[in-house]
Chains A and B, each alone.
Chain A
Amino acid sequence: DAGITQSPRHKVTETGTPVTLRCHQTENHRYMYWYRQDPGHGLRLIHYSYGVKDTDKGEVSDGYSVSRSKTEDFLLTLESATSSQTSVYFCAISGTDTQYFGPGTRLTVL
């Protein structure tokens, strides 16, 4: 998985609780992305980062925030988890055009 780890790999939480997912890379790539994968929708961009402390919104950013204080780490936070945020979350990195994906985090919000 191109030097990308995600933690946790699985998480079950309750509606209304905050959740933070972590993506860690060892490739020193500038760009990092968070996608969610849902049946019938492919993968959809939540947020992305083009450098330390430089982030921007994707197409499904409502209810999510991100932070990148170091090149290697990109955090995704669900401020108050809802059942509609039950999904598989993938982190990706890229130096140029090619994006490499991590193994994913399966999140279930009850």
Chain B
Amino acid sequence: QQQVKQSPQSLIVQKGGISIINCAYENTAFDYFPWYQQFPGKGPALLIAIRPDVSEKKEGRFTISFNKSAKQFSLHIMDSQPGDSATYFCAASLPSTGRRALTFGSGTRLQVQP
């Protein structure tokens, strides 16, 4: 059962454009929603994260928008750069003590063309 659905699978954006990646979750008990960025041959690295008590969080060119009623959240990359070309994963975790394991989406491969 895929609890976090991510779209699109791949995305091509021109330099300077806005990249938008969407995720939908099923379990309303999730309370932490991070986005990870992964370059080829590397481990995922935390990009930005949000909790469901806020609707938006911004860090530099990266923004998470969160819609609790729709059970959806999205990553917006403003002024996309070729260096942003990577695979992006959304994730979610439960507030279980001692666990905090992440449930990941299937990933979006972003290519920013110069």
Contact = CB atoms under 8 A, between A and B. Distances in A.
Interface of A: 1, 4, 31, 33, 40-45, 48, 50, 54, 56, 58, 90, 92, 94, 96-104
A18 B98 CA distance: 29
Band of interface residues on B: 20 to 34
Q: Which of B44, B91, B98, B103 has the most CB of A within 10 A?
A: B44
Contact of B100 (A41, A42, A99, A100): A99
A33 B101 contact: yes
Given A31-B98, A92-B43, A98-B46, 15 more contacts: A33-B101, A50-B98, A50-B99, A56-B99, A58-B101, A90-B44, A96-B100, A97-B34, A97-B100, A98-B34, A99-B34, A101-B43, A102-B43, A104-B42, A104-B43
18 contacts: A1-B43, A4-B43, A31-B98, A42-B89, A42-B106, A43-B44, A43-B89, A45-B103, A50-B99, A92-B43, A94-B100, A97-B49, A97-B93, A99-B100, A99-B102, A103-B41, A104-B41, A104-B43
A42 B104 contact: yes
A12 B109 CA distance: 27
Interface of B: 4, 6, 32, 34, 36, 41-46, 49, 89, 91, 93, 98-107
Contact of B6 (A42, A92, A99): A42
Nearest to A42: B104
Contact of B46 (A42, A99, A102): A99
Given A45-B101, A48-B99, A94-B100, A100 B106 contact: no
A54 B99 CA distance: 11
Contacts of A99: 34, 46, 100, 102
A contact face: mostly helix, strand, loop, or mixed: strand
Nearest to B32: A97
B43 A41 contact: no
A33 B102 CA distance: 10
